Structure 1
């Protein structure tokens, strides 16, 4: 299939690019697979620029991580310091320190910038 990549500058280009990926997916030719991957990357770049993802609020993020890992709030004490500090962080009354960010990042294997954006800022 002869197809050129679509540079996405507006919503119409975005729709056309998605349609092109759909057509390229049906092809068995290696060159079309390469075009499909390249076009999908252009779509992803456009969507990230147009609709940036926002980190969830820190209490929501931590609640999700605790649930997904089968933990309790008490399991956060070694990461955040004290039960009181866990309570303050989980209620949104306390920012994370860099030490807390490091410990959470290492424990949950998530990017530090996700924790920092969810927190809004980091205490010194």
Structure 2
């Protein structure tokens, strides 16, 4: 096992190739240990070099509603009024703290996503 920090794109590509080669390694074996450490290094490199921005709060709500088969009426049941649901989805009203809490509880959208400015 010759593991070193991933500093360049070439290091990253080599690490990904090795990860693919040992992907099915069994736990608590030398290759299994290498797989675990390599995965941590790759994850760190990707977080630094390929950050993923959080989704827009309204788009996150729409996406989750679609996943769950919810309508605007279902959102209205969560946040209070049908008119409020329409205003939120059309970006005419900001989410209140109470709405954020309810949406988080009912739709399981992280609060970090919902509290962003939009």
- TM-score normalized with structure 2 length: 0.84
Of structures 1 and 2, the one scoring higher in RCO (CA 8 A, sep 6+) is 2
Give 2:41's aligned residue: 42
Q: Where does residue 82 of structure 2 map in the other structure?
A: 83
Query: Which residue of 1 is the match for residue 64 of structure 2?
Result: 65
* TM-fit CA distance, 1:27: 4.9
Alpha-carbon separation, structure 2, partners of 1:22 and 1:76: 43
Q: What SS is found at the alignment partner of 1:96?
A: coil
2:100·2:114 contact (CA, 8 Å) conserved in 1? yes
Q: Which 4+ residue blocks in structure 1 deviate beyond 4 angstroms? A: 26-29
Aligned counterpart, 1:7: 5
Gaps of 5+ in 2: none
Q: What is the aligned partner in structure 1 of residue 15 from structure 2? A: 17
Q: Which runs of 5+ in 1 are unaligned?
A: none
CA RMSD of aligned residues (A): 2.0
Tell me the number of residue pairs that the alignment of Structure 1 and Structure 2 aligns.
117
Q: In structure 2, what is the Cα distance between the partners aligned to 1:93 and 1:51?
A: 33
Question: Partner of 1:94: helix, strand, or coil?
Answer: coil
CA drift of 1:7 comes to 0.9
Contact 1:6–1:17 (CA under 8 A) maintained in structure 2: no
